[in-house]
Chain A
Amino acid sequence: MPEMHRTKQARDRYNFLWEWANPVKFMWFSGLALPWLVAATVLTSAIGLIWGFFFTPEAVNFGSSVKIIYVHVPSAMMAISAWFMMLVASLIWLIRRHHVSALAAKAAAPVGTVMTVIALITGAIWGEPMWGTYWAWDPRLTSFLILFLFYLGYMALWGAIEDPDTAADLTSVLAVVGSVFAFLSRYAVNFWNQGLHQGATLSLDKEENIANVYWIPLLFAMAGFGLLFVTLVFIRTRTEIRKRRTHALELRERMADA
């Protein structure tokens, strides 16, 4: 093997480069981008949320509860987008073996989970005055509950496996298979809910024409949550990369001392 001809110093440099090849670029890029991302997140979120809360009128069927869309819709969108991003990142890991991709998927999971929880809580709170109970197995909320379970399983699997590459592989397989079942579940839940009394579903989406007066601040809010997701995933991925590097150095320390 060619490594054996090199000095220990040269080998160390080689290992260092090999481990950091992709992560180095990511750390550099994310380090530059973060201040801008944070600024953009704060700006768009503030605009969307403040506008939506203070400067929108009451709606026809919903009264002032329409203002809940500014937290419910963006979080629900992010809950799903986050999972989709994790799916893509998992596929990239499985096919191209870019470590940053695997770590980014791992990093995104908690963010997606919190988004799902927010969607569930705001959905339930909104549902209470609409349906009279906090939970009515509305098909959309039920799908989010199932998504929450998928997130939990994904994070639990990452946590249970010691070897990082094995964990990345297995969680990626889970993400792919899970996505198929998540999609199937959506259809199944819609089917399952047919028999029940159709309460008003919580949606002001494409079916109705949302007046611009609601739609534009909503766009800002959605953009804000989206940027929040990207910002947090960048930070968390940097954390994962650092943890991985620390772990590798610790192993080397232990072997050198032994």
Chain B
Amino acid sequence: MPELGKYAGAVLWSWVATLVLVALLIAMTWMQSRKAKAELEAIEARRKSKES
């Protein structure tokens, strides 16, 4: 950990806030992506089973 001196709080909190928000964004993006993919595959499977 580098010497942060009197600004330690500001630096650490800003970095933590950034990383947390980015992590949340990535997580949400990923989860929404998986859900959409699963739903599409489900409905396409239903279509295929109907046609065959």
Interface of A with B (CB < 8 Å)? 53-54, 58, 62-65, 67-68, 70-72, 75, 110-111, 114, 117-118, 121-122, 125-126, 128-129, 228, 232, 235-236, 238-240, 242-243, 245-246, 249-250, 253
The answer on a CB contact under 8 Å between A64 and B4 is yes
Interface of B with A (CB < 8 Å)? 2-8, 10-11, 13-15, 17-18, 21-22, 24-26, 28-30, 32-33, 36-37, 39-40, 43-44, 46-47
- Given the complex, which residues of A lie within 8 Å of B47, measured CB to CB? 249, 253
The answer on a CB contact under 8 Å between A63 and B6 is yes
Of chain A, the residue at the smallest CB distance from B19 is: A71
| Top-6 shortest CB links A-B | A65-B7, A71-B18, A242-B36, A122-B14, A64-B4, A125-B14
Interchain CA distance A67-B18 in the complex, whole Å? 13
Interchain CA distance A249-B28 in the complex, whole Å? 25
What are 14 inter-chain pairs, A to B, with CB distance below 8 A?
Answer: A64-B4, A65-B10, A65-B11, A71-B18, A110-B25, A111-B29, A121-B18, A125-B14, A129-B6, A129-B7, A232-B26, A236-B32, A243-B40, A249-B40
The answer on a CB contact under 8 Å between A118 and B6 is no
Interchain CA distance A244-B2 in the complex, whole Å? 49
Given contacts A63-B6, A114-B22, A235-B30, contact A249 B44 (CB under 8 A): yes
Name A's interface SS: helix
Interchain CA distance A250-B39 in the complex, whole Å? 10
The answer on a CB contact under 8 Å between B33 and A122 is no
The answer on a CB contact under 8 Å between A114 and B29 is no
The answer on a CB contact under 8 Å between A71 and B43 is no
Given contacts A118-B17, A239-B33, A253-B46, contact A67 B40 (CB under 8 A): no
Residue in contact with A118 in the complex, picked from B4, B8, B10, B18, CB distance below 8 Å: B18
Residue in contact with A75 in the complex, picked from B5, B18, B33, CB distance below 8 Å: B18
Of chain A, the residue at the smallest CB distance from B25 is: A114
- Given the complex, which residues of B lie within 8 Å of A240, measured CB to CB? 36
Interchain CA distance A243-B33 in the complex, whole Å? 9
